[in-house]
Structure 1
Amino acid sequence: MRIGVLDVGSNSAHLKVVDLVAGGAPRPLAAVKRPTRLAEAIDADGVVGEDAVCRLVGSVGEAVRAAGAYGAGELIAFATSAVRDAANQQQIVAQVEAVTGVRLGFLSGRDEARLTFLAARAWYGWSAGRLLLADIGGGSLEIAHGEGQEPALAVSLPLGAGRLTRAHLPGDPPARKDVHRLRAHVYERLADICAQVKEDLDGRPSVRPVATSKTFTQLARLTGAPKRKAGPYARRELRLDRLREQIPVLADRCAEARAKLRGVSRPRAPQILAGAIVAEALMTTLGLDRVDICPWAIREGLMIRRLQAMTDPAAADEETAHLTQAVPVFPAPGRPSLRPVPSLSA
């Protein structure tokens, strides 16, 4: 079965077209990624601006063309917190469907954590033992841990890098007092859940801490991890001591200057400081001196869930069923421009 998985996030709409074969790993064929830049277009009332909505519609349209051009039979389409939490969410969803035929669905924060955990488990396998997962998105932070395919705990907190940047870091570069206040806010919000996680893990066998998301990936590269061209199997980790060294560097620079640092992309440069503060606070509170960077995340979790349902219908659940739809007919001149995806890459 050939499917497309479309993830509409705060910075981009990212489609992956993959072949699913029972007993095998998802085989990537192509990907298309187009900007949405929703994070910078949300006003104080939580409304996404019209220009950004139009940009989103165009990006989803390109994804539909790509899925159709590569013969995908199904499309799993979902939007993360930037759209899910928007004050004009219904208008955005209606506009996207009216123009492209795509019905954007949503996952709860807990289900995002569960599916991302499933992807990490598939990547590392059973030999990894108990996994402790963290994922910093644009609007939320997901945390999960467990020994099986399903986590024993899965939670979502409103500590996404984009959300915190808008609410707490108005300057470019931000004032030092704002950075200190944000750090205190993050530590306060993490205290209870991290205490619960530590209690859950106390006395258990060794835990493998892993992290996903572009924020963690770019922070790892900033602190010395291998480049993307090294491939998905190169080990990448984020070390707490090196992260702490880079936070003052990020805080002293404007977004334009941050984008010139190793590994930091221009779209994420405005919010990478907030992401670094969350990562540092989380690792410190949980007593982690390093985390491994997992190249698979929520898109791959959805692929695996669909693959499970192919061989065992009982494995299908409501979290993904409402996201799956036929690929709309959305004609466009010529073949869309896609980049090839190496096997098993993120």
Structure 2
Amino acid sequence: MARRTIRIALNGVTGRMGYRQHLVRSLLALREDGGLDLGGGDTLWPELVLVGRREHALREIAGRHGLGEWSTDLDAVLADDSIDIYFDAQVTAAREEALKKAIAAGKHLYTEKPTATTLAGALALARLADEAGVKHGVVQDKLFLPGLLKLKRLIDGGFFGEILSVRGEFGYWVFEGDWQQAQRPSWNYRAEDGGGIVVDMFPHWEYVLHELFGRVTTVQALTATHIPRRWDERGAPYEATADDSAYGVFQLAGGAVAQINSSWAVRVNRDELVEFQVDGVHGSAVAGLRNCRVQHRSATPKPVWNPDLPVTESFRDQWQEVPDNTEFTNGFRAQWELFLRHVVLDEPWSWDLLAGARGVQLAELGLRSSAEGRRLDVPELTL
């Protein structure tokens, strides 16, 4: 029985996602459970080095969680031969250059998305990592959500028969920041800083559609900046130059059509912040973050259109809840565990920088589709 140590440099843990999901709910939670069980009595223990630009924030986080190592000097951290993995959760505009440095230093990579600001940059990263012989992964957390895991169970079990369409609704009202503090950082609404809901969410929709239903072959999108004026973290007004809403139609390789609305300017009237309705010949399902409901063809009611009479039945009550049937862990932690096993045990892994580049490609084409007002093909990517 042995405990193996792996040293991970975490860049961007002072941000919301890097801190809550990757540091606290993934790697620190793994340490609290005694490390990652590798089988055969062996465990893997992650030693963490926090990296960032704000010294006081790093010191505070490290002290709060009993971590002894942190640095504002990324170059020095990457020059440390004891570091095995570099993780990046910085703002998008800073990520590409940092990943290049990590590749040059021979570190394995795990990164948030989008991996770069352009498709050319994202593909270049994938090529560099392959040429350097380092292992690389991109966070695709929504694949590990309980609701989507239940949906995949239905797909794999043949519940739907032929899948006809997918309809997705994502979003919530992000306060403008004048009379209530915004829930998202102000850079998200400035295109010059890498902001915009297409850049943020289309990479998610690419891997969800690709993994569950088929490769995206065409995209037609319409973007909007519904809230043109917002207030930043200091209370100063600024002009929103990035899209806060996007309405996309995606044709899939298997023949299904997906429609996904994404908005930070919509008030929620659904059970969860994101929901996907999948309609097939034999049945339908509605999956969210945690829950999934189904209606089989044998239990489908026969609605009759009559606007002159009030509705006498609850349509929602006609759906059946899909049981958990297993214990779900945090999705970010689940993917971290798989990546660590990939690095240490060479177990299979498919969510690499090329997969990340597909997300950047879809975002880039989505913005271009909106600007040109037409549907665009999505070529299959190769290195």
Larger Rg: 2
Please state which band the TM-score falls in when normalised by the shorter chain.
0.3 to 0.5
Q: TM-score, length-normalised on structure 2?
A: 0.33
Select the structure with the greater relative contact order (CA < 8 A; seq sep ≥ 6): 1
More strand by share: 2
More helix by share: 1
